[in-house]
Amino acid sequence: MTKYILALDQGTTSSRAILFDHAGRPHASAQREFRQIFPQPGWVEHDANEIWASQEGVLQQVLRDSGVAASDVAAIGVTNQRETTVLWDRATGEPVANAIVWQDRRNAAYCEQLVGQGKADLIQQKTGLVLDAYFSATKLKWLLDNVPGARARAERGELAFGTIDSWLIYKMSGAHLTDTSNAARTMLFNIHTLQWDTDLLALLDIPASLLPDVVPSSGVAAHTHVDLLGISVPIAGIAGDQQAATFGQVCLKPGMAKNTYGTGCFMLMNVGKRPLPSKNRLLTTVGWSLGADANQTDYLLEGSAFIAGAAVQWMRDGLGIIRDSSEVEALATSVPDSGGLVFVPAFAGLGAPYWDPYARGTLIGITRGTGKAHIARAALEGVAYQNVDVLSAMQDDAGIALSELRVDGGAARNDMLMQFQADILNVPVVRPVVTETTALGAAYLAGLAVGFWASQEEITAQWQVGRRFEPAMAADERLTRLHKWQRAVERSRDWSE
């Protein structure tokens, strides 16, 4: 019997490959960062060829370094940064421009035009999404309108669009496809019919010939070219990173929720087999489809804060107050509190429930006694404060009070941040033994498809608590802190003109 599932986790700042064994434990991993491109304020791009080079590099490296043969890999699962938009030439396989990253805000004014035309309700009803530059549709429209010749070539059927999952699968297999969870993030996909929506394609003037085929998240979708690994391996799991992390945290029943602390913060709650519209400007999104039958599709509510781990990177690369991201906890805990400092990490605007693309990062309450440790502490607290706004909206939408919040992602290893998160949410925060839940979710989706794991019950039994953080903050202190946070948020809003 084959021994491993290979998960490819293509993130915003790095690509990783992780081999998982039957117990759902990481056996070996490799990781490689790639360039972030900032052509002008509010614009964020990646070179899609660099993404592929980094992902192929770690794929080969993890097998080589661990001594695992490709024949010992039962299947490949793919998970990816979502919404990031690639447009490439079908004949040459070359991108026609840099990929536009999910954080990119160049289309904020165009989205406001659509809101002014009364299109926001139509888009939310069909896609479950708030009309925002975050999603792929307006990024794709921008490429078609601004890359010389792109629109004419698209209309002749010469170009292909995809999110990062589609790009990686195309490079590995030649197939042009995506899964329901990634399609649901494009703002072109009807989450009720689970098909591309002709009304939205017409509204945004996007030729249907650009679009990938949509397949279930779990199921053999393609096979790798033989020259990639020496043999052909099935690609059997595909999911956007946050949906994959929710699956990896085995939040498989309505009311279960997780928060991932990656480049941004992403809180998702399982709401069952039917999409639940949000009254509070959260997103309703496809979680995963475990087969072609629509009854095997789970839906999620999602609230995202755009900046989490990126705030730590900024302290390292922008301010230079730490040399390595791992140093931030020691610096932050070297002072008893933030000294009255409040940090709103709105570097790329504010996400849910505000959806303010013109908000900007704000550090308020600076005094002569403020030092770098206070800034570090305030930055970590700011990451946690954002999630209070998201959770309160989510509980109101779902009518469910959360009993615990499962956490993962790089910054979830920071004990100070996790304790403060439990305190300020007034909800227990639970960190599992395996925190690589994004990659694990992709592995589980692939493994279920090929019989590596027999059932959802088998993978649920593998989830184990690593550490549980109980709320310990007094109620009056919590309310005082949240009031100060709200004042700081108001000062950060609508700043960029």
Runs of H (alpha helix) within 304-429? 309-314, 328-332, 372-398, 415-425
Judging by beta carbons within 10 Å of its beta carbon (0-12, 13-18, 19+), is residue 26 exposed, middle or buried?
middle
Cβ neighbours of residue 128 closer than 8 Å, sequence gap 6 or more: 184, 191, 275, 277, 278, 283, 284, 285, 299
SS3 of 191, please? coil
234 DSSP assignment = E
Between CA 474 and CA 144 the distance in angstroms is 54
Positions of E strands within 188-313: 189-190, 195-196, 213-215, 218-223, 234-240, 257-261, 265-272, 283-289, 297-305
* Ligand-binding site membership of 14 (annotated): yes
* Ligand-binding site membership of 340 (annotated): no
* Ligand-binding site membership of 121 (annotated): no
* Ligand-binding site membership of 12 (annotated): yes
* Ligand-binding site membership of 134 (annotated): yes
* Ligand-binding site membership of 242 (annotated): yes
* Ligand-binding site membership of 370 (annotated): no
Judging by beta carbons within 10 Å of its beta carbon (0-12, 13-18, 19+), is residue 161 exposed, middle or buried?
buried
* Ligand-binding site membership of 455 (annotated): no
Nearest to 446 by CA among 51, 6, 2: 6
Between CA 463 and CA 85 the distance in angstroms is 33
* Ligand-binding site membership of 241 (annotated): yes
Say how many C-beta atoms besides its own lie within 10 A of residue 444's C-beta: 31
What backbone phi and psi angles, to 5 degrees, belong to 402? -70, 135
- Cα 157 to Cα 65, 89, 192, 208, 428: the distances in Å are 42, 10, 27, 9, 52
* Ligand-binding site membership of 395 (annotated): no
Contact call for residues 429 and 422 (beta carbons, < 8 A) = yes
Contact call for residues 89 and 106 (beta carbons, < 8 A) = no
Strands ordered across the beta sheet of 26-33: 26-33, 14-20, 4-10, 73-80, 234-240, 218-223
What residues pair up with 214 in beta bridges, in sequence order? 178
Degrees to nearest 5, angle at CA 123 with 119 and 127: 180
* Ligand-binding site membership of 414 (annotated): yes
* Ligand-binding site membership of 457 (annotated): no
Between CA 97 and CA 48 the distance in angstroms is 9
388: Cα separation from own chain's centroid: 19
Say how many C-beta atoms besides its own lie within 10 A of residue 447's C-beta: 28
* Ligand-binding site membership of 284 (annotated): no
* Ligand-binding site membership of 419 (annotated): no
Between CA 130 and CA 353 the distance in angstroms is 10
Q: How many CA atoms lie within 13 A of 209 on its CB side?
A: 13
List the binding residues for ATP. Answer: 12-14, 263, 309, 313, 410
List the binding residues for ADP. Answer: 12, 16, 263, 309, 410, 414
List the binding residues for glycerol. Answer: 82-83, 134, 241-242
List the binding residues for sn-glycerol 3-phosphate. Answer: 12, 82-83, 134, 241
List the binding residues. Answer: 12-14, 16, 82-83, 134, 241-242, 263, 309, 313, 410, 414
